[in-house]
Structure 1
Amino acid sequence: MTRIQLSRLPGERVRVTDDEASREIDLADLAPFVAAREPDGPRWVWDDTARWYPGLLAAGVRVARAHDLRLCHHLLRRAPAVDASLLVGPESTRWDRLGPAVPSDPVLFSSDAAAEHLAADLEDERQLSAISASPEARRLHLLVAAESAGALAAAEMTYAGVPWRVDVHEELLTGLLGPRPPWGARPRLLEEAVGDLRRLLSAPGLNPDSRPELLAALRRNGIELTDTRAHSLRSVDHPVIEPLLRYKKLAHLFQTNGWAWIDEWVRDGRFRPSYQPAGSATGRWSSNGGGALSFPVQVRSAAVADPGWVLVVADVAQLEPRVLAGMSGDRALARAARGADLYQGMVDDGAVASRQDAKLGLLGAMYGATSGASGRMVADLTRRYPAAFGLVEEAARAGERGQVVRTLLGRGCPALGASSDGAWEESPEAPPTDLADQDRHRRAYGRFTRNFVVQGTGAEWASCWIADLRNRLWHLGADGSLAERPHLVFFLHDEVVVHAPAHLADAVAGEVTEAAATAGRLLFRELPIDFPLSVSVVQSYAEAGKPAGGSSHLGSSA
């Protein structure tokens, strides 16, 4: 496959390098150039997908394959099976420091600074050499391809956007909060709720958004708390608790998804969040803006498909336990994972007495529970599923020894430390000094590494899932632009949402399921693992998962 490297140059110029030659073109000619070469099936190589791809999408150009040098540089630097010295060379320190583009940045060329004009061909050669020299080259090639495809999907989802009914959202806000207030003021119903709190707490000037003020007012009324979290408040029997909880819920809606949120993140009938692929240490995505990864239930009714279109919502059941079965090669747990409910499969296998016991045991193993019911179940299930439970236990012991661990495809975890680049920190406080603190710190790191291997491999499965799915959806539409074909509009760890013409709903559901099966085969070739999906075909995202409205359950067997 031809690799075409694109490097930014001063003066709105682009250097294009491929197997044949190196030449320069004007930025204005980039989209036509990419469109002309795309039918040949090249892999586009650039410093950061979030800087290059939005401009191409805006020009109507969609690409199938890319290699995101920024994402892959940081991944390979930390990969235990990679000789990091092979990544060192001209400009490598700039690649070390290169961060993701954010919405406030200009899309492509922000300045003539040297850091903006990195040579893609030099870095690409280093990365390919480092992967080829690794004993885990096959897995690493898959990992960087999936990571880069995820970056393409993220840019496409921002470009296409989630279909959003502003009138529905504003009607919801008005019903719960009152009419839109002037800038800097509270809505009427929220202000009335403040009045109720001040009256019940005999605190006329109380600002309930101030944690110190609220705790002091509660204390004056005989309520001793150290925080104002909902769980802590519910432990108290006092007339102010119910209205306080209601106020906090409404205030959160106003602050995080109120009118200001609509103004900033909804354009042309689309919610356009900014995703950051591999934004967390495990490879899970995060969000640079819009709160896409904490999509509140309260406003999901505003996510409504266009007329003649539907939303196909799919999520995988018990992703991480299934991933644990696959990566550990535990055939007994893999047998239990056949079907829609892994926990019930463990009951049917005779491993536990109830579904709740199975859930407690598996979650306890992945998160390090050592006491109580969960701890007891871990001990029992370790004898039944020694490979799976042994894998997470060994990851925890490695962490306690201060060693790094890796995912199935080779992503390395942050190192134990408090100051080095990419180091793991339990808290922002100073590193522990005495032996007791150091021991506690290492145990905490062991709990992190225990979960890292499973959560990180789950993120790899999800990346492979959406990487395959975005291409399947493109080919499902006979012609037209990205937004005119079935296309991804949302992704959250183990869930995807596709906006599709209604007549293609069943076909989309089938492709979503087949892509999940393909991801399973790519990662766990030697052991078939079921990844059953719950698929809903709905008009509004709020309807997803409900029995009515076209919901179905489709299984995928890898």
Structure 2
Amino acid sequence: MTRVSLSRLPGERVLVVEGAEERVLEAPDLPAYVGAREVEGPDGPRWVWDDTARWAPMLLAAGVRVQRCHDLRLCHHLLRRAPAADDRLLEGEQSEHWDRLGPSTPSDPALFSVDDAAEHLRADLEDSRQLAAVAASQEASRLGLLLAAESSGAGVAAEMSHAGVPWRADVHDRLLTDLLGPRPPRGGRPQVLEALVAEVRAAFGAPALNPDSRPELLAALRRAGLDVTDTRASSLRGLDHPGIPLLLRHKQLSHLFQTNGWAWTDRWVRGDRFRPSYQPAGSTTGRWSSNGGGALSFPVQVRPAAVADDGWTFVVADVAQLEPRVLAGMSGDRELARSARGADLYRGMVEDGAVASRNDAKLGLLGAMYGATSGESGRLVAGLTRRYPDAFGLVEEAARAGERGQVVRTLLGRGSPGLGEVWDRDPDDPPADPDSQTRYRRAYGRFTRNFVVQGTGAEWALCWIADLRNRLWRLGGTGSLIERPHLVFFLHDEVVVHTPVALADAVAEQTRQAAETAGGLLFRDLSIDFPLTISVVRSYAEAGKPGAAVSPA
């Protein structure tokens, strides 16, 4: 497959390198050039660039969608940490800039506006180094799949930000008004919050208390005779005081006002669309995070504002028990894979005689993945280890490796951060107290135990959305991205597709087939079911409710 690298040059220009050929384009001419090459169809090029979030928006705004890309920033950081890659092969001209290159954010300057070394990195040089690092690895095929999935995920993120989630600002305003009262002046509290503050102050006998201030609130709680060390809602719920229900209500509404209130709408809803900024691989496991708009969190209170366009609908799909199924696949545990057949893995464990109840199955599996060693969960882990030795042995070995200060890796080869990176201290300079040192390493062991499963789950999900993205494009005929069925939301194990109503059933089927394809890519030697629960709904708030589900399959 042809690789075409794009590099920013000073003066609003782009360096295009394809094999031994180089050419320079004016930046405004780039969309037409890329669009013409995309007409080549399945044999078209893979576009290689420093950061998808810097290039794809410009192309999408001009109506150009690329089939394939390679995100050098994401892949550079991945290869630097991958145990199966020799990161010395990434050394060379400008490599120090690639090491420091961070994700683009909505507040970054325009694509070609900054004139410094980090803004004008040679994509072709870095691409050659990355290709060499993969080719030299004993796990080249796995690493190649991981880099392709990571880059495809970046493309999905850019397209979702471009398309946006259909959002009714009038419905959002009505929801906020019903819960908080009319929109307050800038800097003020809504009426309902103001009234709650007065009630909280009266309940704790603190007329000047600001309940949003942690130090002030801690002091007020202690003066009221409550033994508290933090002000988290989970801690407050266990306290017995007439002011606690008021305080919890205030926390809930204050959080809504601050994170998804009117200011949020002003900033992130444009043209009847919520347009967040995603950060692929924002966590160490490869899971996404958000660098703007709270992209990975739709509070229940505002979900009714996510409404499909007239003649369109949402297809919402989530996979059941993703991480336990991934554990079965990556460990090659055929007994657990057999229990995973069908819609409910935990029920399958009961039917196979591994445990007495579904709750026991859930407690035992989650205990194994998160390191439970005591209580009911610990007892169940011990019993299930004998039944599923390969699966439970895999996470146990990952934990032991972490306790020894070793890094671990996902199925496709993403490496965990080292002990010092996670805990922000030198692993060769541990706490002097032996007990503290032991706790320090055990905590890292719990992290590595979960890393291998959560990270492989993220890899499965990336393969899922990468394949689904292409299936939706082929399903939609000849229109632009937003005229065809398209992804508008992704959260770890859930996707939301905005589609014409007439194509909803076809979208649901393609979503299932993409899940099967992802399982086959990762777990070739073992058939693992990844059943989806799919809802076809007009509003995202209706997903999962009775009458909304198409079927789990």
TM class by shorter-chain length?
over 0.9
State the 1:428 CA deviation.
Answer: 12
Q: Which residue of structure 1 aligns with residue 233 of structure 2?
A: 230
Matches of residues 391-470 of structure 1 in structure 2 within 5 Å? 391-417=394-420, 423-425=421-423, 432-470=431-469
The code of the aligned residue for 1:552 comes to V
Cα distance 1:258–1:441, how it changes in 2: closer, same or farther (>3 A)?
Answer: same
The code of the aligned residue for 2:550 comes to S
Q: Which residue of structure 1 aligns with residue 125 of structure 2?
A: 122
State the 1:175 CA deviation.
Answer: 0.5
Q: Which whole-Å deviations, capped at 9, do the CAs of 1:345-376 have from their partners, x for residues lacking one? A: 00000000000000011000000000000000
Q: Which residue of structure 2 aligns with residue 100 of structure 1?
A: 103
- Could you list the runs of 5+ residues in structure 1 that have no partner in the other structure? 418-422
Q: Which residue of structure 1 aligns with residue 473 of structure 2?
A: 474
CA distance in 2: counterparts of 1:62 and 1:234, whole angstroms: 49
Q: Which whole-Å deviations, capped at 9, do the CAs of 1:129-151 have from their partners, x for residues lacking one? A: 11001000000110000000000
Matches of residues 109-148 of structure 1 in structure 2 within 5 Å? 109-148=112-151
Q: Which residue of structure 2 aligns with residue 518 of structure 1?
A: 517
SS of the equivalent of 1:424 reads: helix
Matches of residues 144-543 of structure 1 in structure 2 within 5 Å? 144-417=147-420, 423-425=421-423, 432-543=431-542
Retained in 2: the 8 A contact 1:426–1:444?
no
SS of the equivalent of 1:293 reads: coil
Q: Which residue of structure 2 aligns with residue 5 of structure 1?
A: 5
CA distance in 1: counterparts of 2:384 and 2:70, whole angstroms: 42
Retained in 2: the 8 A contact 1:52–1:107?
no
State the 1:39 CA deviation.
Answer: 2.1
CA distance in 1: counterparts of 2:349 and 2:311, whole angstroms: 43
CA distance in 1: counterparts of 2:543 and 2:27, whole angstroms: 43
State the 1:38 CA deviation.
Answer: 1.0
State the 1:110 CA deviation.
Answer: 3.3
CA distance in 2: counterparts of 1:154 and 1:235, whole angstroms: 40
State the 1:427 CA deviation.
Answer: 8.6
SS of the equivalent of 2:423 reads: coil
Is 1:553 aligned to 2:551, yes or no? yes
State the 1:554 CA deviation.
Answer: 3.3
Q: What's the Cα RMSD here?
A: 1.3
State the 1:250 CA deviation.
Answer: 0.7
State the 1:109 CA deviation.
Answer: 1.6
CA distance in 2: counterparts of 1:125 and 1:554, whole angstroms: 44
CA distance in 1: counterparts of 2:85 and 2:238, whole angstroms: 51
Q: Which residue of structure 2 aligns with residue 31 of structure 1?
A: 31
Retained in 2: the 8 A contact 1:7–1:16?
yes
Q: What's the TM-score once normalised by structure 2's chain length? A: 0.98
Q: Which whole-Å deviations, capped at 9, do the CAs of 1:24-82 have from their partners, x for residues lacking one? A: 01001000000001122110000000001100000100001000000000000100000
Retained in 2: the 8 A contact 1:50–1:107?
no
SS of the equivalent of 1:8 reads: strand
State the 1:200 CA deviation.
Answer: 1.5
Q: Which residue of structure 2 aligns with residue 19 of structure 1?
A: 19
State the 1:189 CA deviation.
Answer: 1.1
CA distance in 2: counterparts of 1:464 and 1:229, whole angstroms: 37
- Could you list the runs of 5+ residues in structure 2 that have no partner in the other structure? none
CA distance in 2: counterparts of 1:425 and 1:367, whole angstroms: 18
State the 1:226 CA deviation.
Answer: 1.4
Q: Which residue of structure 1 aligns with residue 77 of structure 2?
A: 74
Retained in 2: the 8 A contact 1:48–1:68?
yes
Retained in 2: the 8 A contact 1:426–1:445?
no
Q: Which whole-Å deviations, capped at 9, do the CAs of 1:361-414 have from their partners, x for residues lacking one? A: 100000000000000000000000000000000011111111111000000000
The code of the aligned residue for 1:424 comes to V
Q: Is the deviation greater in 103-112 or in 446-455? A: 103-112
Q: Which whole-Å deviations, capped at 9, do the CAs of 1:494-542 have from their partners, x for residues lacking one? A: 0000000001000000011000000000000000000000000000101
CA distance in 2: counterparts of 1:426 and 1:73, whole angstroms: 22
CA distance in 2: counterparts of 1:229 and 1:261, whole angstroms: 23
Q: Which residue of structure 2 aligns with residue 420 of structure 1?
A: none
Q: Is the deviation greater in 232-241 or in 496-505? A: 232-241
Q: Is the deviation greater in 467-476 or in 14-23? A: 14-23
CA distance in 1: counterparts of 2:48 and 2:522, whole angstroms: 24
CA distance in 1: counterparts of 2:407 and 2:221, whole angstroms: 45
State the 1:293 CA deviation.
Answer: 1.4
CA distance in 2: counterparts of 1:377 and 1:242, whole angstroms: 36
